[in-house]
Amino acid sequence: LSGIAKDMTKMSSKSAVKLIVPADASATLYRWVAILTGSKNALKGVGFFLGGLLLTLLDFQTALRLLVALVGGTLFLAALLIRGGLGEANRKAKFGQMFSRNAAVNKLAAARIFLFGARDVWFVVGLPVFLSSVLGWTFWQSGGFLAIWVIGYGIVQAATPGLLRSRVEGQHEPDGKTATLLAFVLASLPAAIALGLGAGLAPASVVVVGLIVFGVVFALNSAVHSYLILAYTDSDKVAMSVGFYYMANAMGRLAGTVLSGALYQWGVQSGPADGLIACLWASTAFVLVAGLLSLLLPRRTGAPSKPIKLDDLGD
């Protein structure tokens, strides 16, 4: 239920940005999507800290009751403060229309599956177990580090427009070429971490430094994808396109999570670090596939073909 709520919130908020920003203001769209995406992930990192704090200070059931109160308070404020419409849903839309007929959106969604599978295949299960069982980190060390990583990841996403500002032909917004380049750069990082661990280098240094660099490049890549999905879709189909895109995102995360546990369990039978190494090589393969799919993306995003009218926004 929380996953559905999260994806519905992401889909509706990014669709709203697409509808509110003028059709010819691609730089403004890029900046606001980056801020929205980055702030969401920074708050996710705050959630890591909050969870650790609650479980340390309170018992499990009391912590859950406090979370219920926090979510209930958010629901009350949203119902009280959010006003205005952004158009009317097409009630005649059929289930088959959920799948995009936009070639660029389909290619981006396919690349998204492998991009997020590449992160979760080592980050979700393999990395926390490695930090605890191999490096001997305590709960606060591993949980605190991952929380700081997620917050930093969100900050980099929010700062992506400034970090990736292009000087080529006056273009300031990313396109398919940007996504391709970032994907191939990203593929080198889990491979480098795996080689470092295999060579017997200090595992804590290799993993910590590698994870920080991986997080920066991955955040840039993810922010570019978040902009491209809005740049590629028309305003009258934005909710369906974004929803389809995040369905692909969820598929990649599910595959990565399942493989993370399975590969770690398989690899660790050969040695303490081999479980994480197996996950890292799988991550490398996933990112390479994402890069190859990104080669098919349009090289110029352009303005939407059907700009939204003020009359379409409702009251």
Q: Is residue 92 part of a domain?
A: no
pTM of the model: 0.76
Token code pair at residue 73: 């308070």
User: What is the identity of the amino acid at 289?
Assistant: V
Query: Which domain, by its residues, includes 143?
Result: 25-87+98-303
Q: What is the CATH number of the domain that holds 29?
A: 1.20.1250.20
Strand ranges (DSSP E) for 88-144? Answer: none
Q: Is residue 312 part of a domain?
A: no
Q: Is residue 313 part of a domain?
A: no
How many domains does the structure of the chain reveal?
1
Q: Do residues 134 and 258 make contact, with C-beta atoms less than 8 angstroms apart?
A: no
Q: Is residue 309 part of a domain?
A: no
Q: Is residue 6 part of a domain?
A: no
The tens-digit pLDDT sequence of the chain (315 residues) is 777 777 777 777 777 777 777 766 667 777 777 787 777 778 877 887 787 788 778 888 998 999 999 989 988 998 898 776 666 655 665 655 566 677 888 899 999 999 999 999 998 899 989 998 899 988 778 878 888 888 888 888 888 877 776 544 455 678 888 999 999 999 999 999 999 999 989 999 999 999 999 999 999 998 898 888 878 877 666 667 777 887 888 899 899 999 999 999 999 998 889 999 999 999 999 999 999 999 998 876 554 444 434 333 333
Burial code of 115-128, b = ≥16 C-beta within 10 A, e = fewer?
bbbbbbbbbbbbbb
d(CA 243, CA 260): 25
Report CA torsion sign: 152, 157, 161, 163. positive
